[in-house]
Amino acid sequence: MEFTRRQLLKFSAALAAASAIGLDLPLPKGIEAAEQADKWVKGVCRYCGAGCGVYVGLKGSKVVAVKGDKDNWNRGLLCIKGNFLAPILYAADRAKYPLLRKGDRFERISWKEAMDLMVSKYAESIKKNGVDSVGFYGSGQSYTEESYFISKVFKGGLGTNNIDGNPRLCMASAAVGYVTTFGKDEPMGAYDDMYHADCFFLIGSNMSEAHPVIFQIVNERKTKGKDVKLIVADPRKTLVAKKADLHMNFVPGTDLAILNAMAHVIVKENLYNKDFVGKHTVFKKMVNPGPPPKIEKVTWDDYVRFIEEYTPEMAEKTSGCPKADIIKAARWFAQSKATSSYWCMGLNQRTRGVWANNLVHNLHLLTGQICRPGATSFSLTGQPNACGGVRDGGLLSHLLPYGRLIANDKDREDMENFWGVLKGRINPKPGPTAVEMFRGFNKGDIKCLWIACTNPGQSLPNLGIYRKGMESKDTFLVVSEAYHPSRTSELADLVLPAALWVEKDGTYGQSERRYQYVEKAVDPVAEARPDLQVMIDFAHRLFKSLGREEEAKKIFAYKGTEDVWNEIRAASKGTAYDFTGMTRTRLKKAHGMQWPVPTEDHPGTVRRYTAKYGDVLVKKFDPQADDVSFYGAKADGNRATIWLRPHVGPAEPADAQYPFVLTTGRQLEQWHTGTMTYNVPELKRAAPYGFLEINPKDAQKLGVKTRDKVRITSRRGSLVMEAKVVDVPREGLVYASFHDPNKLINMLTIDAFDALSKQPEFKICAVRVEKA
């Protein structure tokens, strides 16, 4: 009997409830029984940025089961993917040995041969073309120790900022949004705020599919709390939109007008918090986009004049969202006891992603709905360690660890001293960002590129041109991957087999500043190795080839992950991220700790920027503050910025030739590019391939029914997919998940990016849809 998607959803839901009360469920037909575990090891789910605590069940030397950690924030709950996590380790397509390309095929080689070749290519290129001829592209799925270490090798060791990572494709706008508004990255709030909020404002987040366990808290609050209001702003009628008290449906790319109009209502109706605005904010506008952008401080009166034009009527005309909805949302937002906002890629993956982030923060600052339980402005994260490793750890090409910037002279000097490298070693010019890096690789400016723990051969926008670059015979591409072939490793010159998840140990930092230790539970398959081990080996060999062997012995003297972690703690000391007190020993025992954790007896900080609710750094950085202090924004007197950001539409709106908007995202059972979830039989059966969601009215006009084949064409590419006619996307919008390696939807998406964050606009491009 075939086990259907619906049966799997039911079983997964039942499993979550049964786990919550410690009830063992019999397995239905079609689901393979897991062997009984005889030992449980604490860890973190491998998938999204929610960062659910798990216990990994072992029988002998094999992972046989995974269950939720009841003492962690997720209360023992796991989503459908987390429930079926164990099989990702034992997939048939695990990369087991180093592989070298020989024409159209790969040949197994030894690790020594692989490392010799890689090092010789890098060294040769550096000697011939300089350090900016080599690069590294990392991942929000790598452990913090891996991201921190490789960043040190490139920025502090080699002196090149040719290092970026896939969070540039998903979180960069949120990061720059936080920095431009509050002075430092990362949310001030926590998931705990959900238990205190009586108004939820979700915008650009399909939480029910992309962050299912977080959604369960919202769902619970909505069900139990009589007065809890849920506002969802989304051009799709997702499950969470259907559960909402108010679904603000709008034309994709017009939400900046809506957010400004909500501010307009709040100001016009005198719903703003004068005391909070007066004590804790400044006002700014960009007078010249640059680069670098020219910013000017302005006044409250300037702001009021700026939002004058954003009437609800104007926003309705621009966005299609009824003005009554905008007014209602603004009133609920301002008048509720505690309002929390949550957003994800719908805001971030945009050419105006940073501005959209700023405008959500504006609403919180105007109303004082911030820095107290239930009132917060919270960006959800897509990957398990985009925050901990890549944003906090400073892997991105413009960053240094723990809030420091490449472009800041003092920050560079601090890190040069800390790392013990020559003054002036760190290049003062930020390096290329993800899309720029692959453009550079296409052109041959970057001749050697190492990609680790990510799949840009499927996930980059406007994919066709970058796949061609990765295939080039004139450059050298190394891919460290747990699976082969992936749509990236198939293009590599050299494939390095990577240990996966609990085959190695390390630290993950999720959306709410919670760092969690993942213990090694089993040995890697075959000859796979932990990336950190390979990176350390690479660094020593490369520096030896460059005649800098002694220097490498000094600056890369690590025996394992704990040495790196201790250096990371020291690098955070004294910064606004301070987690000096988060020792390995504490992390092993704790169910995650939220930074700042400045001392070894500090319990962690649930809410930042508020002394009243426990942030001890307020007194350190702003001794005069009685409670709230945005101490990351020292230059603005510890005040956050309310930005004057006008509405600007997408880079490529729909037009007569390409009349539909294509947006991409996730599907409940699949994660990212499917390398892991496609290896879980239950998930593969439940969601075997990607499809295109079409609104029923559009489908009727096109003469298309569910399961018909449709051709989708953008200015960059064309693809045939199966149609799913469903009342989820609004008219004029079509939607596809990007997980299917056989349906590369990113061949169609646009690589235009935000001028500030450099994050591409995956969420909006113009397409034509025809019956195939």
Partner 1 sequence: MPVSSAIVEIDVSAGEAVLGSLSSMSAISVYGMKDNKIVIVIDAESLEIMEENTRKIMSLEGVIGVFPVYSSVDE
3-state helix, strand, coil in the chain (%, to 5): 35, 20, 45
Distant-in-sequence, close-in-space partners of 624: CB < 8 Å, separation ≥ 6? none
Contact between 212 and partner 1 per CB under 8 A: yes
Q: Which of 52, 118, 170, 453 is catalytic?
A: 170
Among 149, 215, 419, 630, binds partner 1 (CB under 8 A): 215
Residue number with CB closer to partner 1 (19 or 348): 19
As a whole number of angstroms, the distance between CA 595 and CA 598 comes to 8
- Write out 609-647 in H/E/C secondary structure: CECCCCCCHHHHHCCCCCCECCCCCHHHCCCEEEEECCC
Residue number with CB closer to partner 1 (361 or 730): 730
Q: Which region among 11-19, 396-404, 460-468, 577-585 touches partner 1 (by CB under 8 A)? A: 11-19
Distance of CA 162 to the CA centre of its chain: 20
**Residue 626, token pair as written in the block:** 């009685």
**Residue 702, token pair as written in the block:** 């096109």
Binding mask 262-301 for partner 1 (x = CB under 8 A): ----------------------------------------
Residue number with CB closer to partner 1 (681 or 696): 696
Q: Which region among 239-247, 387-395, 467-475, 749-757 touches partner 1 (by CB under 8 A)? A: 239-247
Among 110, 223, 299, 700, binds partner 1 (CB under 8 A): 223
DSSP H stretches of helix in 406-548 = 409-419, 434-443, 456-459, 463-471, 531-545
Among 35, 93, 116, 220, binds partner 1 (CB under 8 A): 220
Q: Which of residues 650-679 bind partner 1 (CB under 8 A)?
A: 668
Q: Which of 349, 369, 383, 670 is catalytic?
A: 383
Residue 508 DSSP label: E
Distant-in-sequence, close-in-space partners of 341: CB < 8 Å, separation ≥ 6? 200, 201, 202, 203, 360, 363, 364, 376, 377, 378
Q: Which of 52, 171, 194, 262 is catalytic?
A: 171
As a whole number of angstroms, the distance between CA 432 and CA 160 comes to 10
Contact between 77 and partner 1 per CB under 8 A: yes
User: Does the active-site annotation cover 345?
Assistant: yes
Contact between 557 and partner 1 per CB under 8 A: no
As a whole number of angstroms, the distance between CA 229 and CA 246 comes to 8
Q: Which region among 20-28, 270-278, 379-387, 657-665 touches partner 1 (by CB under 8 A)? A: 20-28
Q: Which helix (H) or strand (E) covers residue 116, if one does?
A: helix 111-129
Q: Which of 48, 118, 248, 345 is catalytic?
A: 345
Find the length of the chain: 772
- 506-509: strand order across its sheet: 506-509, 514-518, 593-594
**Residue 433, token pair as written in the block:** 């960002």
Q: Which region among 147-155, 212-220, 742-750, 755-763 touches partner 1 (by CB under 8 A)? A: 212-220
Q: Which region among 1-9, 120-128, 295-303, 446-454 touches partner 1 (by CB under 8 A)? A: 1-9
Residue number with CB closer to partner 1 (17 or 407): 17
User: Does the active-site annotation cover 759?
Assistant: no
C-alpha dihedral, 205 to 320 to 287 to 277, nearest 10°: -60
Contact between 689 and partner 1 per CB under 8 A: no
DSSP H stretches of helix in 336-450 = 345-348, 353-367, 409-419, 434-443
Q: Which region among 75-83, 291-299, 494-502, 541-549 touches partner 1 (by CB under 8 A)? A: 75-83
Number of residues that bind partner 1 (CB under 8 A): 35
Residue number with CB closer to partner 1 (569 or 684): 684
Q: Residue 735 Cβ, how far from partner 1 at the closest point, in Å?
A: 11
As a whole number of angstroms, the distance between CA 765 and CA 750 comes to 6
User: Does the active-site annotation cover 382?
Assistant: yes
Contact between 620 and partner 1 per CB under 8 A: no
As a whole number of angstroms, the distance between CA 9 and CA 28 comes to 12
Residue carrying the six token digits 């390095």:
496
Q: Which of 42, 67, 81, 284 is catalytic?
A: 81
User: Does the active-site annotation cover 170?
Assistant: yes
Among 21, 92, 635, 656, binds partner 1 (CB under 8 A): 21
Contact between 216 and partner 1 per CB under 8 A: yes
Q: Residue 25 Cβ, how far from partner 1 at the closest point, in Å?
A: 6
User: Does the active-site annotation cover 52?
Assistant: no
Contact between 12 and partner 1 per CB under 8 A: yes
Contact between 27 and partner 1 per CB under 8 A: no
Contact indicator for 521, 63 with CB cutoff of 8 Å: yes
User: Does the active-site annotation cover 171?
Assistant: yes
Spatial CA neighbour of 48 closest among 630, 676, 655, 712: 676
Residues annotated catalytic, as ranges: 81, 170-171, 345, 382-383
Q: Which residues bind partner 1 (CB under 8 A)?
A: 5-6, 9-10, 12-14, 16-18, 20-23, 25, 77, 79-80, 208-209, 212, 215-216, 219-220, 223-224, 238-239, 242-243, 668, 724, 726, 728
